[in-house]
Amino acid sequence: MRTPVVFIGHGSPMNALADNEFTKSLEKTGKTIQKPKAILVISAHWLSTGSFVCCDDKPEIIYDFYGFPKELYEIKYPAKGSEKTAVKTSKLLEKYNVSCGKWGIDHGSWTFLKHMYPKADIPVFQLRADYGKPAAHLYQMAQLLAPLREQGVLIIGSGNIVHNLRIIKWEPDAEPFGWAVEFDEKVKELLISGDHAKLIAYEKLGKSASLAVHTNDHYLPMMYPLALAGKDKIEFTHEGIQNGSVSMRCFISI
């Protein structure tokens, strides 16, 4: 069983409570993929220097956000972890000094997994990327995870191609900024053409890039499915922009 690789533009934590086109696409994606043996998420929300894998068989759900409605903090996603697979993952990345670290399942994972796999019956573990490293470094590291695909592990990068909260509009369906649409479409074209070099060197993609990738934490998780997809065909499972400045584009390798 060779699993596909996936990128999810997860957006606001409120999508965990939503019933919209984005969440419907997640449900469809979950039903399309043959049930994996485990799920590895590279989330935009496990940040710091160094790279680690969460090797906890009982990971806690992490509510790493503030000021949201009470019902969001009451959501449970009781998926188990997978210590055995996590340790195996750290060994695959040994040359990059990746080891086991303490974490759980943050909102860069459970807010969309609850729509994809609502039964929470698949083990989930996270990998923390070193966001102090350039995109090319993470792309090269990601390629070493390829054996996991052959072992039934679904690898998901979770972030947003366009993510600028400094000038966000609070209405989810607000008119997108022109630069956000421009950069999102530019990345779409490069994903279709398979021009990974330009996606890695995103800083060179024009003025829209500096606005769209205001900080790199949400863009860099895409390096993992990008590197692992190789020459696989990319299919977009959802596209659109929420809050004016957050791309919800998602894709899967087929």
Sign of CA dihedral 210, 222, 112, 253: positive
Q: 135 pLDDT band (50/70/90 cuts)?
A: very high
pLDDT, tens digit, 9 for 90 and up, residues 66-91: 999 999 999 999 999 999 999 999 99
Q: What's the rounded mean pLDDT across residues 118-124? A: 98
pLDDT at 48 over 80: no
- Predicted local distance difference test score (pLDDT) of residue 131: 81
pLDDT, tens digit, 9 for 90 and up, residues 167-209: 999 999 999 999 999 999 999 999 999 999 999 999 999 999 9
Closest alpha carbon to 75 in 134, 14, 127: 14
Cβ atoms of 135 and 197 within 8 Å: the answer is: no
Tokens at 145, concatenated: 């995870």
pLDDT at 1 over 80: no
Cβ atoms of 238 and 7 within 8 Å: the answer is: no
Q: What is the side-by-side order of every strand in the sheet holding 99-101? A: 99-101, 52-54, 124-128, 38-43, 153-159, 5-9, 250-253, 234-238
The residues near 27 (Cβ < 8 Å, ≥ 6 apart) are 115, 116
Structural domain 5-253, CATH architecture = 3-Layer(aba) Sandwich (3.40)
Q: What count of Cα atoms within 13 Å lies in the side-chain half-sphere of residue 133?
A: 19
